[in-house]
Amino acid sequence: MKATLEYFEELKKEDPEFYYSYTLDEFDRVENLFWVDGEARKAFELYSDCISFDTTYLTNAYNMPCAPFIGIDRNGLTIQLGCGFLRNEKTEAFTWLFTEFLKTMSGRQPVNIITDQDAAMAAAIAEVFSNATHRNCRWHIMENARKRLGAFVDSKEGLDVDFNDCVDNSFTIEEFEYKWQVMVEKHGINDDERFIHLYGMRDRWIPAFFMDKFFPFLQTTARSEGFNAVLKRYVNPQNSILNFLQQYKKIQKRIFSRQLEHEATTSIKVPYYLTGHPMEKQMKEAYTRKLFNVFQDELQLKLQLLYCSDWRS
């Protein structure tokens, strides 16, 4: 850790906006650690709309969970917005980490945040990011539901169809509430504790509750998990924290290099129109080139489906 703190001081000399903080236990051992570089602080000013936060990956020889703050830029790229290590995953540790993050971001809270279902994490978010909309990872909730309910749902004819329709095709809270009530009465599951549990946490994972919130390309913590996959390529879990920091810096350079490439493409290259639809011309002015390409693919697919539908009728 002495070498790590010395490395932090070197980074501060290179980058005046670099910040780090740590706490010590009663034996003067590092208990919690947080750092963020100047580029990430600038990026958060632009991209504070939504962050993904996950601590499921252990990346060092000291068995301390890694706690990266992950964001998304206007090209849809995953970006690093700071990182920490925690001795444990208690509310106090998360509260310290989130408070340090808030301090470095001039008190600006994320507008939206997506995490797993960790109760200690949720309590800290409610305390420190009190203005943020907190959403849980839908994939994990659905996976847990399948494990607990799979055989039961299969034994009830049509329940799987009604359940998926209720979750995926409810576009307002009122529509969800109506469909859910119809489903539980139709299949006689009003008193099933497993469905009562899912319903009780509905405002944390059902898409209908987030239709007016900005979660770009997100219903899960996949962005954080994708970052974990990148870490695995760069860092051996038995490496020291110092080695992790050195690799983290390399990843950060690579991310901002990709950002510059996409921004240059948006500025220099003129995209071709695929459909001539007025919406396509409008979105050309609104999106970066990378996202405009995604939009074009979706628009083209939709028009093809409409054409096939008209042809069949």
The pLDDT value recorded for residue 288 is: 92
The pLDDT value recorded for residue 236 is: 66
The pLDDT value recorded for residue 238 is: 67
Cα(4)–Cα(6) distance, integer angstroms:
5
The pLDDT value recorded for residue 197 is: 93
The pLDDT value recorded for residue 91 is: 95
> Which residues are bridge partners to 79 per DSSP?
71
The pLDDT value recorded for residue 140 is: 86
> Which residues are bridge partners to 20 per DSSP?
35
Cα(70)–Cα(222) distance, integer angstroms:
10
Name which of 145, 172, 171, 138 is nearest 159 in CA terms.
145
253 three-class SS? helix
Over 142-191, what HEC string results? HHHHHHHHHHHHHHCCCHHHHHHHHHHCCCCHHHHHHHHHHHHHHCCCCC
> Which residues are bridge partners to 65 per DSSP?
58
Q: Are 135 and 215 in contact (CB under 8 A)?
A: yes
* CB hemisphere CA count around 13 (13 angstroms): 6
Return averaged pLDDT per consecutive 10 residues of the chain, 313 residues in all.
90 95 88 94 94 76 81 90 92 96 96 92 96 91 87 90 94 96 94 94 93 81 71 69 87 88 88 84 90 89 76 60
